[in-house]
Amino acid sequence: MKSVLIRTVSFSLAASAIWALLPIIARPHGATGYGFLVGSFGAGALVGAAILPRLKRNLSVDAVVGFAIAVFALATLAAGQVHPFGPLCAILFVGGMAWIAILACLNVAAQTMSPDWVRARCLSMYLLALQGGMALGGTAWGALASKVGVPTALLVSAIALIAGLSTIRKHRLSARDLELDPSVVRD
């Protein structure tokens, strides 16, 4: 469970930048544009959820999460650089696909890597790590963006996401290196 928490905090602190700064990115497109951008992200998440079972058949959980984080980092970087509405919707669509892949894998790992007798407590810790990381990260990214600008803050966020990939080797989400109960996530 410790691996899931470390990976979740690492991701949520860095990934919260897009949510914290999206209203500023969408400002030139108005309230309706903001709604379409969030809708594009959500549509991408739906498509990502449909594709995820195929990815998990061909790749380990760690590989899916690592690949999705790299894609999300690119989407985060691009969201700070691209201003036309159509391409921005496409970027957020791809970001939504990566987002759901990451969170679905982390959530399943949190559930399956926890012993039955403490599963509810472990899930509460996972959700605290995820949502606490989003809250703290959002505050930090907003403060950074006010000093260096939104594009630079999103660049730093993308770098932080890529740097967070360094946690994969030591903190696995798959069962290959884990001596746990048979219900753990399998490669």
In a domain, 149, yes or no: yes
Rounded Cα gap, residues 113 and 115, in angstroms: 7
In a domain, 184, yes or no: no
In a domain, 173, yes or no: no
In a domain, 181, yes or no: no
165 — pLDDT class (breaks 50, 70, 90): confident
The tokens for 31 are 């309230």
Q: Which domain holds residue 14?
A: 2-168
- Read off the pLDDT of residues 105-123 as tens digits, 9 standing for 90 and up: 888 888 877 777 887 888 8
The tokens for 119 are 């599963």
Helices (H), the chain: 2-26, 30-58, 61-81, 85-112, 119-148, 150-164, 167-170
110 within 8 A of 122, measured Cβ to Cβ: yes
In a domain, 137, yes or no: yes
In a domain, 185, yes or no: no
In a domain, 187, yes or no: no
CATH number at 122 reads: 1.20.1250.20
Q: What is the mean pLDDT of residues 158-180?
A: 70
How crowded is residue 93: how many other Cβ atoms within 10 Å of its Cβ? 21
Q: What is the DSSP string of 38-84?
A: HHHHHHHHHHHHHHHHHHHHHS-HHHHHHHHHHHHHHHHHHHHH--S
What is the signed CA dihedral for 79, 82, 83, 88, rounded to 10 degrees? -60
- Read off the pLDDT of residues 87-102 as tens digits, 9 standing for 90 and up: 999 999 999 999 999 9
Quote the DSSP letter at residue 113. Answer: T
In a domain, 154, yes or no: yes
Tell me the percentage of the chain whose pLDDT exceeds 70: 89
When divided into structural domains, the chain yields a total of 1
